[in-house]
Structure 1
Amino acid sequence: MTNNDMTYNIQQVAAITGLSKQVIRKWEERYGIVQPKRLDNGYRIYCDEEVQQLLYVKSLVEKGQSVKQAALHLKEKAALNQKNLNEQADDTHSWAHESVCTLLHEGDLYHEAAIYRTLQRSYQIYGLQPFLHSIVIPFLQEVEKRRDQGHWRKDQAMLASVVVRDVLIQIRRNFPCHEHAPLLLGACFPQEQHEIWLQIILLESLLCGWKTIMLERISAFDVIESAVQQLTPKKVVLSAYTTASLEQNSDLLTKCHHVAKHYPHISFYIVSPDTTSYIQEGTAPNLQMTDDIFSLVKDR
């Protein structure tokens, strides 16, 4: 297993591989076996993949190949791996497109059970991340487009969205996570009915090693405040996909700010396309506005 977030200096690489620093530099400069990044001071920094490449070439040399032959073999192996990845990506894209078309056809016919089965089957085939990004999100975007253009009735779009929401909830509740993983608490603002995007954020969080709890159908902000007090999560994500809750509760963001100020060790995020228009710069310093889901959940 490799972790490309790990980096090593040349002394550490020499200790791991059993190669001298001179040999490592020679293999880099003469054969292009690795291409380490350079710090401002000129020192080489190697990622774990490059360490594995050096170990692979070393193993071939120990079996009798010349360094030149081993380097060529490494490049051929990398090209083959990339070709396989591209073919897999093409296959996944094709199957995902077919799944989205199937979901839209079933939505045309109001086939609730068929939509559910197709979503479940797609999740089992592709795994969570491709399922979210190649099937669920494109399907939801097309549903919104058809509704806005009048090709689908509102109740038709609602049926499809509810089935997607139910499948996402089921996946999240059954997704394995470590007992001691940090907790991320999610909640929609009161009166906010569009919770699917928050469900997607929480599922992305699970992939990054979080435990998640979602408060559903909140009628008052006090419920969120009480949950923060009882659960003491590491992060709180509040979602306002529409501005309805902000328009109906003029003091909502003020309440959020006060709670966030009371718990400075907890990071509070508001995910909304339109929240910034309700907040003047500097008026809520304890609240972080974001639409970058990956950055939000990556840092634990």
Structure 2
Amino acid sequence: MKTNQEHRLLVKEVSELTGLSPQVIRKWEQRYGLICPKRHRNGYRLYTCEDVGTLMKVCRLRDQGHSMKEALHLFHSHQAPNPIPKMPLSEDVLALLEKGAIYDEAGLLLLLKQALHRYGLEKFLSATVQPLMREIGDLWASGKWDESQETITSLAIRDFLVQIRRNFDLAEGSPLMLGCCLPHETHEIPLHIILLQAMMHGWQTIAAGPSPKLSSIEYLVQRLQPQKILLSATTATPFQHNLHLFEQLEDIAERNESTAFFIGGSGVFNHKIYFKPNRIQIAYSMADVFEESRDEID
């Protein structure tokens, strides 16, 4: 029996992901209260991706030699990290938010151009676009902005970044980097930021667009033969839709050995405990990709 209700998993699926037997999973649930699965109307336990992450974290601690008591203590002591203080927004970001709130697309584009000319591309991306996108996300999540405000502002920013990429001059014969969102990932802006950073390091780039199929990703790799491909997941949605997505991407990487595969984004970092990397490298920043490039040159 399978269920997609809120991406709930049956104990057999949790067992396959964690390597724990169903008996051990139930024992840890009942004896230690690590997880609290809901029940289907037929009585089956239904687990979440977060439950799987909890079990795997405790497994890792046990594998490191800790007793169950020590593993539980270490697990619970790391569940409440200190919040990261929010930096004050710059005048540029505040002005852009004002334009977005009233659907002023022309005003948004003018302010984006002025900020780009004032700071240069690198600082424009880090000090204007990235904090702007975080604030837009917070405003939408809190209900202070409606979907139309978020959509119109985000589309204006995306189109502006795409235009910069189109007009970016690179030396003939520059190496090629392909950028792809994962299936069911529709947030393109982080990918365009990453590709612009790559272009500043001398890479020609191509973006595959939002939510491509796995078959489309592999077709582009085979057709374009890029030296590198960056796979982006800003949200956890791709991994919630497909629990075996990372393994399927690994299979694609195995079949295309001439391309170096990198994967990153908040959705990746939140789910990396599930992954067993072989050919694909997890990139926590673009520096990870560029460090690897320098090693190749050396």
Which range, TM-score by smaller chain? 0.5 to 0.7
Residue 266 of structure 2 aligns to a residue in which SS? coil
Rounded to whole Å, the distance in 2 between the matches of 1:148 and 1:292 is 25
Task: Choose from 139, 142, 147 the match for 2:135.
Answer: 142
Superposed CA deviations along residues 60-111 of structure 1, whole A, max 9, x for unmatched, are: xxxxxxxxxxxxxxxxxxxxxxxxxxxxxxxxxxxx9222121011112121
Residue in 2 that maps onto 1:210: 203
1:240–1:282 Cα change, 3 Å = closer
AA at the equivalent of 2:203: W
**C-alpha spacing 1:184/1:160, structure 2 compared with 1 (3 Å):** same
Q: 1:143-184 deviations in whole A, cap 9, x for unaligned?
A: 122222222122212221111111111111111111111111
**CA deviation vs aligned residue, 1:119-157 (integer Å, no higher than 9, x gap):** 122213322101101111111122122222222122212
Residue 237 (1) aligns with residue 230 (2): yes
**Does the 8 A contact of 2:180 with 2:217 survive in 1?**
yes
Q: Report the residue type matching 2:121 in the other structure.
A: L
When structure 1 is superposed on structure 2, of 220-229 and 248-257 the one drifting more is 248-257
In the alignment, structure 1 residue 249 sits paired with structure 2 residue 268 = no
User: Counterparts of 2:270 and 2:236 in 1: how far apart (Å)?
Assistant: 10
| Structure 1 residues 104 and 278: alpha-carbon distance in aligned structure 2, compared to 1, 3 A threshold | closer
CA contact (8 A) 2:229 2:260 kept: yes
> Matched residues in 1 for 2:121 and 2:222: separation?
31
Aligned to 2:150: 157
1:218 positional shift: 4.1
Q: C-alpha displacement at 1:257, in angstroms?
A: 0.3
Partner of 1:104: 97
1:168 pairs with one of 161, 174, 186: 161
Q: Measured at CA, do residues 115 and 253 of structure 1 come closer, stay the same or move farther in structure 2, by a change above 3 Å?
A: same
Query: In the TM superposition, what are the counterparts of 1:126-137 in structure 2 within 5 Å?
Result: 126-137=119-130
Counterpart for residue 120 of structure 1: 113
How large is the RMSD of aligned CA atoms in angstroms?
2.0
1:181–1:148 Cα change, 3 Å: same
- Distance in 2 between residues matched to 1:178 and 1:259, nearest whole Å: 30
Is 1:267 matched with 2:256? no
**Are 1:189 and 1:238, in contact at CA under 8 Å, matched by a contact in 2?**
yes
Shift in Å, 1:279: 5.3
SS state at 2:163 partner? helix
Correspondence list, 1:175-194, <5 A: 175-194=168-187
User: Aligned partners of 2:98, 2:141: CA distance in 1, in Å?
Assistant: 18
Partner Cα distance (1:225, 1:297) in 2: 23
Letter in 2 for 1:138: P
In structure 2, what residue type is equivalent to 1:234? Q
Q: Which structure has more RCO (C-alpha within 8 Å, separation ≥ 6)?
A: 2
Query: Closer, same or farther in 2 for the Cα pair 1:281/1:250, shift >3 Å?
Result: closer
Cα pair distance change 1:178/1:298, threshold 3 Å: farther
CA deviations 1:261-289 (Å, max 9, x no partner) are: 12233211111223356555773311111
**How far apart in 2 are the matches of 1:243 and 1:195?**
14
Query: Which structure has the larger Rg over C-alpha atoms?
Result: 1
Please report the TM-score for the alignment, with normalisation by the length of structure 1. 0.63
User: Which runs of no fewer than 5 residues in structure 1 stay unpaired?
Assistant: 1-95
Pair 129,282 (structure 1): closer, same or farther in 2 beyond 3 Å: closer
* 3-state SS in 2 of match to 1:212: strand
